[in-house]
Amino acid sequence: MKTQGAKAVHYESGPNMTPLVDVVMVILIFLMLAGTFGGQEHYLVSSAPISGNGPSGEMANVVNVDEPIRITVDNATGDHFIARADRMTASDGPTLTAALTKLRHDMISAGKHSSDLQIQIAPGHAVKYEHVMAVQEAAMSAQFEKIGFVTAH
């Protein structure tokens, strides 16, 4: 006695998707575990003035913003550089150290706290590394606590 089911036509239901789903899930889990979820910044940076006109009418925790002093560094002829910040210009390390020391003392006497002052060094295109380091050493010699680098001007 023969069964009828053995001779019936079997239809192919398509490719087996189970291995594809398994591979995609493994990649998804790997990316979730290896990636970062952000979170160093808790607040958005804004240039809006801080006021006490909120719902409670009181000032919230006010964060003191550092006063940036941007020093642009450009190449000059020979082994000299040109460093400019506000109204000062210097072409060597000792002159820049003296000018930054005077600027620091002027700002402190104007009421700024020394920990609120920040130096931003902005080297120009093709400025030698030794010139940028000379500017950094001059800022360190002038006893600035916060020294950073910004992109070329």
pLDDT attached to residue 21: 95
Q: Output 11 or 111, whichever has higher pLDDT.
A: 111
Q: Given a cut of 60, is residue 59 above it in pLDDT?
A: no
Residue 40 CA to residue 80 CA, distance in Å, equals 40
pLDDT attached to residue 11: 72
Q: Given a cut of 60, is residue 153 above it in pLDDT?
A: no
pTM of structure:
0.55
Q: Which helix (H) or strand (E) holds 5?
A: none
Residue 12 CA to residue 28 CA, distance in Å, equals 30
Name the residue with tokens 């600027």. 103
Helices (H), the chain: 18-34, 93-109, 129-141
Residues 71-123 have pLDDT tens digits of 888 886 667 788 888 788 888 888 888 988 888 888 888 888 877 888 888 88
Q: Given a cut of 80, is residue 67 above it in pLDDT?
A: no
Which class for 73: exposed (0-12), middle (13-18), buried (19 or more C-beta within 10 A)? buried
> Residue 105 in 3-state DSSP?
helix
**Domain 67-149 falls in which CATH fold?**
Nucleotidyltransferase; domain 5 (3.30.420)
What's the average model confidence in pLDDT over 6-18? Answer: 76
Q: Output 22 or 85, whichever has higher pLDDT.
A: 22
